[in-house]
Amino acid sequence: MTECKKLSPQSNEALLSSENGFTAFSYGGYNIRFRAPYSLERYVDVLKWDDGYLVVLAKYSHHAEPEEEYIDLKPILEGLYIDSASFLKPIKSVRIAYA
């Protein structure tokens, strides 16, 4: 399941978080939610941002140490009929943010 809600505009920094079995990627007034791996507890750090491709450290319930996880946003955006090239172009960085 994928969901997209428009929020107020932000800077060139996007936010990544997880809650209740979903990953949330927020940028440019959008909050895009998609299913997270079943055992994901939380994202710990963003190791790399490359035009829609994320390498992150994620903490899973079945492992004591964080593991590398890979997220490709382009197919998710295309599934929501969002032009990935124009949406991703202004994003310069991504950080982990939990309320």
pLDDT tens-digit readout, 20-55:
999 999 998 999 999 999 999 999 999 999 999 999
Other CB atoms closer than 10 Å to residue 16's CB: what's the count?
A: 22
pTM: 0.84
How far apart are alpha carbons 84 and 65 in whole angstroms? 33
Strand 93-96 relative to strand 13-19, pairing: parallel
How far apart are alpha carbons 88 and 53 in whole angstroms? 10
For the segment 53-78, what is each residue's pLDDT rounded down to a tens digit? 999 999 999 999 999 999 999 999 99
